[in-house]
Amino acid sequence: MPVCLTDLFFSGDTTRQRIKFSDDRVCKSHLLNCCPHDVLSGTRMDLGECLKVHDLALRADYEIASKDQDFFFELDAMDHLQSFIADCDRRTEVAKKRLAETQEEISAEVAAKAERVHELNEEIGKLLAKVEQLGADGNVEESQKVMDEVEKARVKKREAEEVYRNSMPASSFQQQKLRVCEVCSAYLGLHDNDRRLADHFGGKLHLGFIEIREKLEELRSSPQRSNQDAAGAIPPLRRRSLQRIEFLASCPEGGKTWVWPDLQL
């Protein structure tokens, strides 16, 4: 009886063992340990399961094989992260626009004063998250040093709040003024307390976005990428993908209405 090869290779539990890391169905971002589905899992923005295959055994295979050979998967991962971050940045713009429409209008001068409070909030939130991390690592001395910085920032914040408060009627000051976090697109409140600030800036969602953004920068500037490009070693399909990414990056709308650059020729 003839045996169907596809059935043989991709049936039941054997699928994962049979598939190779270079297979199109495998998530290249996962191989490079930066798939947003992994990074944001368990956060408020959990993306659910990735449409492509995630498998640690394949990542291990890839890590070994990539020591001797370039697979150019950085370009796939860059494409993936680029479009993910572009989506996030679009959401941030929409949220900002909505805030501008719904929040009471304030003069540029007052807005600058509110901005100063937001900046100090951000500083305090980041420092407190650092204190918690150092505490968890048992680094008491360093954590105390950072706590001193927090105190200084708190003094500055009280002053900035005072300046802001004096620039408007008391009723307006009571209203929560929101801002959108440029990193993770969550809302931040001007009057958020220290706990909330630390939870945001030390939280898995915000830190996950930092990780993804840093990884994207790293991929963009990877020496491997420029070497390959200079040597003309990138296969045509990958080259096209790279052109598209560069085109996306240069597009004023963040690539919202992109077209393949090589189709315009």
Beta carbon nearer to Zn ion, 40 or 184: 184
The single residue among 50, 85, 110, 147 that binds Zn ion, judged by CB under 5 A, is: 50
CB of residue 49 to Zn ion, shortest distance in Å = 9
Task: Name the residue nearer to Zn ion (CB basis): 168 or 181.
Answer: 181
Give whichever of 189 and 261 is closer to Zn ion, judged by the CB atom.
Answer: 189
Query: Is the torsion defined by CA of 169, 171, 174, 179 positive or negative?
Result: negative
User: Is 58 a binder of Zn ion (CB under 5 A)?
Assistant: no
Cβ contacts of 27 within 8 Å, gap of 6 or more: 35, 37, 50, 52, 53, 54, 80
Give the nearer residue to Zn ion in terms of CB position, either 45 or 160: 45
Segment 1-30, which members bind Zn ion (CB under 5 A)? 27, 30
Instruction: Compute the Cα dihedral for 214, 86, 186, 152 and give only its sign.
Output: positive
CA gap 96, 126 in Å, rounded: 22
Asked if 180 is part of the footprint of Zn ion (rule: CB under 5 A), the reply reads no
The binder of Zn ion chosen from 35, 78, 127, 129 (CB under 5 A): 35
From CA 19, how far away is CA 62, in angstroms rounded?
Answer: 12
Q: How far is the CB of 228 from Zn ion (least distance, A)?
A: 23
Please say which residue, 40 or 183, places its beta carbon nearer to Zn ion: 183
Min separation Cβ 188 and Zn ion, Å: 7
List phi, psi (to 5°) of 53.
-75, 130
* CA–CA separation, 37 and 47 (whole Å): 5
Q: Which of 19, 47, 110, 181 binds Zn ion (CB under 5 A)?
A: 181
Residue 27 or 131 having the CB closest to Zn ion: 27
Residue 179, interface with Zn ion (CB under 5 A)?
A: no
In three-state secondary structure terms, 121 is helix
| Upper half-sphere CA count for residue 40 (Cβ side, 13 Å) | 21
Q: Per rule CB under 5 A, is residue 183 in the interface with Zn ion?
A: yes
For residue 184, state whether it binds Zn ion (rule: CB under 5 A).
yes
Q: Is 234 left (phi over 0), alpha (psi -120 to 50) or beta?
A: beta
Q: Print the binding letters for residues 187-206 with Zn ion: x by CB under 5 A, - otherwise.
A: -------------------x
Residues ≥6 apart with Cβ < 8 Å to 69: none
Number of residues binding to Zn ion, judged by CB under 5 A: 9
Least distance to Zn ion from the beta carbon of 51, Å? Answer: 7
Q: Pick from 28, 37, 177, 215 the residue near Zn ion by CB under 5 A.
A: 37
Contact indicator for 183, 206 with CB cutoff of 8 Å: yes
* Distances in whole angstroms, Cα of residue 214 to Cα of each of 110, 187, 197, 222, 248: 33, 21, 22, 12, 18
**What is the contact surface with Zn ion in residues (CB under 5 A)?**
27, 30, 35, 37, 50, 181, 183-184, 206
